[in-house]
């Protein structure tokens, strides 16, 4: 074994001591901690408990109700192994008495070698666990045992309970954390402005960290302080990014010229813009003429008319020239070929066949790509619509003025950056989402963006009725669908799987392919049934969608490939099979494919759950509201920010103790304080802000 380096190696910053050299850890446990990104003493101090247990009082057995977790001081009387059948071959039992002579049986199905020798008759110990009652007998299964009854780390106080890390018991973690706290607490330095802590009546960092791990009184102020710290530091980073973007030079357009271009484009739309659409367009024009690159998030519910605003802004910018006399070019990146193709066709349909718009997707041939690049090289105006093919070399723009990212949650930050870098000058950027983002997330994950919101639906859109359907209601639902089809309408049937054998363990789920055969040959024999899924190539997908648009196909059986952007106003029925298998935002996106015309629309959420089981909460939410913003808030509460945003986005939310749902009040306080700090002391020169400036320098967030 290599020799441990001298402690002096870490004397410059003892909190950077590798976790291996903390008493009780060593190389083996250090490897386990490192796998959870706990590498230093500092990391360990910020590994907070998941809950607390009040073990401040030792109970008598007769005082405690069943299923209550508590601690008892016991005396061992008898221990033995019992042979069992099945998975566990041995059961270790200890018969013990409390201080009043009441009996209890302690049971373990797995014990380490020598464990049984610790329970010699007469041995006193403390056991903590959930009490079970069987007849007149009491028992605990796998209780936590403490033989040193004078040790107050694990009992006689409110104790922390940690998430077990790869089999390290919470008692072992508690011991390590207690040691780490003794070692690290003297070196914890406050880096938040103390006047802000006083403003909110919050304790200093050493007290907060100590109370978070081993509270000896009301520890909520300490928890609040750590929550505030996480939000404050994150909001400073986010708002600093926004401020830096606002300092950059960007394409500056003329207000009058943009207004003239929009005046020519607006009459071509089939409807008048809603108030929300007009405001979003006004916000963008203000950004275009500011001299700084726009960085705006446009969010609106399904069918709110975001695409119209995107096309208007792209074509209006394209109608301008930069100072060097070059025409601006614009780009729209969509997550699927179906959506990119739809944007392309809609542009030609609404704004005319002479519109200089090009389509670049995976199926675009080499000769077509060459022609597109030649058009871009010519310096002529061009709107290039495509998928991720847009960010692949050798696509080059002559004068990229505006980048639009549709359904932003489908793209990672790196992909968005690559598209923006197609321009020598930072282009204006519009990010769109049909998944409304709760305000708490907009202030964090997207806090560096300005936000425009479209809440209304364009005129002519009809409300959607949503019903939960169990297997007993299937025939009734099919009759309703048949009636709608006979009246000339169309229907989607959505399934989670393409083929029956696609996911091992889910063979009981109906797949799209088998369902399409059943619907065509047994249920709706008088109608044409088509199928759409991700395993079809681009041409096949485009062909079936075109047939569905033309009503040559009345029923489209599909997977979630239709989730984003598909627009067929005549489709008024959506049947989602195995609805409990989809997330709330995904269900809302799918439902948004209907209700896009003047006819009444209906969505059926089919569940295979037996009637005696409760309905999943997200399905109840779907039946109660169409409001995407309410659904987004419910989704955030049900799934948390990581799931809501997707892994590529949630990596930017480094919160260990703060919770975006529970702690919105502290998020708002921290954000307001950061805004005020940046306004009053942007260079952090005031003495009260020096410690925070030093923290930013030490972490590389600002230059030293």
Q: Which range has the top average pLDDT, 109-113, 139-143, 159-163?
A: 139-143
Q: Domain check: are 244 and 261 in the same one?
A: no
Q: Domain check: are 488 and 597 in the same one?
A: yes
Q: Domain check: are 134 and 261 in the same one?
A: no
298: β partners: 432, 452
Average pLDDT over residues 433-450: 71
The pLDDT assigned to 651 comes to 40
| C-beta neighbour count of 1 within 10 angstroms | 5
Q: Name the band, by pLDDT with cuts 50, 70 and 90, for residue 8.
A: very low
Q: 109: Cβ–Cβ under 8 A, 6 or more apart, which residues? A: 88, 90, 91, 92, 141, 142
Residue 87 has pLDDT above 80, yes or no: no
Question: DSSP state, 347?
Answer: H
Mean of pLDDT over the chain: 84
Contact 132, 19 (CB under 8 A): no
Q: 283: Cβ–Cβ under 8 A, 6 or more apart, which residues? A: 296, 450, 452
Average pLDDT over residues 162-175: 83
Greater confidence, 204 or 169? 204
Question: How far, in Å, CA of 525 to CA of 527, rounded?
Answer: 6
Q: In this predicted structure, which of 201-205, 510-514, 565-569, 570-574 has the lowest mean pLDDT?
A: 565-569
Q: Domain check: are 234 and 326 in the same one?
A: no
In a domain, 635, yes or no: no
Quick check: pTM over 0.85? no
The pLDDT assigned to 416 comes to 61
Residue 490 has pLDDT above 60, yes or no: yes
414-423, Cβ contacts within 8 angstroms, sequence gap of 24 or more: 415/333, 415/388, 415/391, 418/391, 419/331, 419/333, 419/390, 419/391, 422/331, 422/391, 422/395, 422/396, 422/397, 423/397, 423/399
Q: How many domains does the chain have?
A: 4
The pLDDT assigned to 455 comes to 81
Residue 620 has pLDDT above 80, yes or no: yes
The pLDDT assigned to 417 comes to 66
In a domain, 320, yes or no: yes
Domain that holds residue 420: 255-454
Q: What is the CATH number of the domain that holds 566?
A: 3.40.50.300
Q: Domain check: are 278 and 396 in the same one?
A: yes
Residue 281 host element (H or E) = helix 275-288
In a domain, 599, yes or no: yes
In a domain, 8, yes or no: no
The pLDDT assigned to 434 comes to 72
pLDDT tens across 96-107, in order?
Answer: 999 899 999 999
Q: Which of 433, 454, 475 is the last residue of a domain?
A: 454
Q: In this predicted structure, which of 212-226, 566-580, 615-629 has the lowest mean pLDDT?
A: 615-629
Average pLDDT over residues 498-508: 54
Q: Domain check: are 479 and 444 in the same one?
A: no
In a domain, 366, yes or no: yes
The pLDDT assigned to 644 comes to 47
Q: Which of 110, 133, 156 is the last residue of a domain?
A: 156
Q: Domain check: are 400 and 531 in the same one?
A: no
pLDDT tens across 643-654, in order?
Answer: 545 433 434 466
In a domain, 441, yes or no: yes
Rg of the Cα atoms in the chain: 31
Q: Is 700 exposed, middle or buried (0-12, 13-18, 19+ CB in 10 A)?
A: exposed
Q: Name the band, by pLDDT with cuts 50, 70 and 90, for residue 415.
A: low
Burial 612-646 (b: 16+ CB within 10 A, else e): eeebbebbebbeeebebbebbbbbbbbeebeebbe
Average pLDDT over residues 306-326: 92
Q: Domain check: are 334 and 449 in the same one?
A: yes
The pLDDT assigned to 408 comes to 57
In a domain, 165, yes or no: no
Number of H helices, E strands in the chain: 22, 22
Cα–Cα separations (whole angstroms), residue 656 to 42, 47, 50? 13, 8, 10
* Beta strands 400-405 and 428-433, pairing class: parallel
Strand order in the sheet with 571-576: 464-469, 601-606, 571-576, 490-494, 555-558, 529-532
Q: Domain check: are 298 and 439 in the same one?
A: yes
Residue 640 host element (H or E) = helix 628-645
In a domain, 659, yes or no: no
Average pLDDT over residues 308-315: 94
139: β partners: 105, 132
Q: What is the CATH number of the domain that holds 104?
A: 2.40.50.140
Q: Domain check: are 497 and 614 in the same one?
A: yes
Residue 673 has pLDDT above 50, yes or no: yes
| DSSP character string of 501-540 | TSSTT-TTSPPHHHHHHHIIIII-TTS-EEEE-TTS-HHH
97: β partners: 75, 103
Q: Domain check: are 436 and 483 in the same one?
A: no
Q: Domain check: are 533 and 558 in the same one?
A: yes
Q: Which of 572, 604, 625 is the last residue of a domain?
A: 625
The phi and psi torsions of 702 (rounded to 5 degrees) equal: -140, 160
- For the record, the structure tokens of 540 come out as 């096949």
């Amino acid at each position: 074994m290599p020799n441990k380096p001298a402690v002096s190696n870490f004397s410059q910053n003892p909190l950077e001591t590798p976790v291996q050299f903390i008493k009780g850890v060593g190389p083996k446990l250090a490897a386990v901690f490192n796998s959870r990104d706990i590498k230093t003493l500092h990391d360990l101090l910020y590994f907070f408990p998941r809950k607390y247990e009040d073990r401040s009082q030792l109970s008598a057995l007769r005082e405690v109700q069943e299923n209550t977790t508590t601690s008892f001081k016991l005396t061992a009387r008898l221990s033995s192994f019992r042979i069992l059948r099945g998975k566990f071959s041995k059961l270790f039992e200890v018969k013990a008495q409390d201080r009043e002579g009441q009996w209890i049986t302690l049971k373990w199905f797995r014990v380490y070698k020598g464990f049984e020798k610790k329970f010699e008759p007469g041995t006193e110990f403390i056991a903590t666990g959930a009490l079970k009652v069987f007849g007149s007998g009491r028992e605990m299964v796998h209780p936590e045992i403490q033989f040193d009854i004078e040790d107050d780390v694990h009992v006689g106080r409110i104790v922390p309970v940690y998430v077990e890390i790869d089999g390290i018991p919470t008692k072992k973690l508690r011991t390590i954390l207690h040691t780490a706290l003794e070692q690290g607490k003297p070196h914890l330095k406050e880096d938040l402005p103390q006047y802000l802590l006083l403003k909110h009546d919050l304790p200093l960092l050493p007290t907060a960290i100590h109370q978070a791990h081993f509270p000896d009184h009301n520890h909520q102020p300490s928890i609040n302080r750590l929550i505030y710290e996480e939000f404050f530091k994150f909001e400073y980073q986010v708002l600093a990014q926004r401020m830096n973007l606002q300092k950059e030079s960007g394409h500056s357009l003329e207000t009058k010229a943009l207004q003239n271009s929009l005046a020519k484009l607006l009459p071509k739309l089939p409807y008048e813009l809603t108030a929300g659409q007009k405001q979003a367009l006004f916000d963008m024009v203000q950004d275009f003429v500011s001299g700084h690159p726009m960085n705006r998030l446009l969010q609106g519910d399904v069918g709110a008319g975001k695409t119209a605003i995107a096309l208007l802004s792209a074509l209006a910018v394209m109608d301008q020239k930069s100072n060097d006399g070059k025409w601006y070019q614009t780009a729209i990146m969509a997550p699927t070929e179906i959506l990119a193709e739809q944007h392309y066709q809609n542009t030609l349909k609404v704004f005319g066949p002479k519109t200089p718009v090009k389509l670049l997707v995976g199926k675009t041939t080499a000769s077509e790509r060459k022609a597109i690049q030649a058009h871009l090289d010519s310096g002529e105006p061009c709107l290039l619509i495509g998928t991720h093919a847009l960010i692949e070399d050798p696509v080059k723009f002559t004068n990229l003025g505006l980048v639009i990212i549709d359904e932003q949650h489908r793209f990672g930050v790196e992909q968005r950056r690559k598209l923006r870098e197609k321009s020598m000058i930072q282009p204006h950027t519009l990010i769109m989402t049909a998944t409304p983002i709760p305000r708490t997330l907009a202030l964090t994950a997207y806090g560096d963006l300005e936000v425009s919101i479209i809440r209304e639906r364009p005129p002519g859109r009809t409300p959607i009725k949503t019903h939960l359907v169990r297997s007993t209601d299937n025939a009734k639902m099919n009759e309703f669908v048949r009636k709608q089809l006979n009246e000339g309408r169309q229907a989607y049937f959505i399934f989670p799987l393409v083929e029956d054998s696609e996911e091992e363990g889910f063979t009981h789920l109906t797949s799209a392919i088998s369902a399409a055969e059943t619907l065509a040959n047994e249920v709706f024999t008088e109608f044409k049934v088509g199928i759409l899924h991700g395993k079809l190539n681009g041409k096949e997908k485009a062909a079936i969608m075109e047939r569905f648009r033309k009503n040559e196909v009345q029923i489209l059986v599909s997977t979630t490939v239709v989730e984003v952007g598909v627009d067929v106003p005549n489709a008024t029925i959506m049947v989602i099979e195995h609805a409990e298998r989809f997330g709330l935002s995904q269900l809302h996106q799918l439902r948004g494919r209907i209700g896009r015309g003047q006819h009444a629309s209906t969505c059926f959420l089919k569940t295979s759950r037996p009637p005696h089981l409760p309905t999943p909460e997200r399905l109840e939410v779907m039946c109660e509201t169409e409001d995407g913003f309410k659904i987004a808030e419910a989704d955030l509460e049900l799934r948390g920010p990581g799931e809501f945003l997707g892994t590529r986005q949630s990596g930017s939310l480094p919160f260990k103790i703060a919770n975006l749902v529970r702690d919105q009040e502290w998020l708002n306080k921290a954000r307001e304080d950061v805004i005020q700090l940046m306004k009053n002391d942007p260079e952090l020169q005031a003495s009260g802000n020096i410690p925070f400036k030093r923290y930013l320098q030490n972490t590389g967030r600002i230059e030293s």
